[in-house]
């Protein structure tokens, strides 16, 4: 384990703070949920999209620089194969919340890291990890898939407008 893991945890905490404790984070979450409602509320949607793209590019650049400087010490040919799919899967499994994404990325990283040792020790192919990850994603998305196939409406979300005195 290297300092990139600690840096990733610190950046995840910073992103959590940004998304849940600042006005910019509220604007990002609102735009991500419903851009039309955000526009109606007076949020400059184009500006927020540019800010989130710059932020995501900076985070991707930070991750790439940590991998090059702390892991490989050079840029290799198969540097980023499959990272995009893994990132989408991790975001889906983590429910796009920074804490969930940290836990999901640790799970996926442990499975990917253990795959080669598993193949060496038991002669089970490495590809079984991809099958297990696909099954995890299928079970996470099963609720939405079943609702779509059978045209079942989702139960209404209960919004708490106030909790009363002292709560």
Q: Is 158 helix (H, G, I), strand (E, B) or coil?
A: coil
The model's pTM: 0.77
Give CA 73 to chain center in angstroms. 26
Instruction: Give the pLDDT confidence of 130-143 residue by residue, as tens digits.
Output: 898 888 888 888 88
Top mean-pLDDT range of 12-26, 104-118, 127-141: 12-26
**How many residues are listed for the chain in this entry?**
167
Mean pLDDT across 110-138 = 87
Mean pLDDT across 75-83 = 73
Domain ranges of the chain: 1-80, 82-152
Question: pLDDT value at position 29?
Answer: 93
Alpha-carbon distance 69 to 75, whole Å? 9
Is the pLDDT at 93 greater than 80? The verdict is yes
User: Which tokens is 30 given?
Assistant: 């609102």
**Cα–Cα distance list, 23 to 20, 26, 103, 105 (Å):** 8, 5, 26, 27
Alpha-carbon distance 108 to 114, whole Å? 10
Alpha-carbon distance 112 to 97, whole Å? 22
Is the pLDDT at 167 greater than 60? The verdict is no
Question: pLDDT value at position 151?
Answer: 85
- CB 38 within 8 Å of CB 48: yes
**Cα–Cα distance list, 157 to 94, 97, 125, 160 (Å):** 20, 18, 43, 10
Alpha-carbon distance 16 to 83, whole Å? 22
> Which candidate, 22, 43, 9, places its Cα nearest to that of 32?
43
């Amino acid at each position: 384990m290297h300092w990139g893991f600690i840096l990733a945890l610190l950046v995840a905490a910073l992103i959590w703070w940004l998304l849940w404790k600042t006005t910019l984070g509220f604007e990002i979450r609102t735009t991500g949920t419903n851009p039309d409602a955000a526009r109606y509320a007076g949020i400059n949607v184009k500006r927020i999209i540019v800010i989130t793209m710059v932020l995501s590019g900076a985070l991707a650049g930070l991750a790439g620089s940590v991998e090059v400087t702390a892991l490989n010490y050079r840029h290799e040919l198969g540097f980023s194969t499959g990272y995009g799919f893994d990132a989408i899967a991790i975001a889906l499994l983590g429910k796009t919340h920074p804490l969930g994404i940290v836990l999901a990325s640790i799970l996926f990283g442990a499975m990917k890291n253990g795959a080669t040792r598993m193949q060496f020790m038991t002669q089970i192919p490495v590809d079984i990890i991809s099958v297990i990850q696909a099954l995890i994603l299928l079970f996470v998305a099963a609720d939405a898939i079943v609702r779509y196939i059978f045209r079942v409406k989702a139960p209404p979300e209960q919004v708490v407008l106030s909790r009363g005195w002292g709560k």
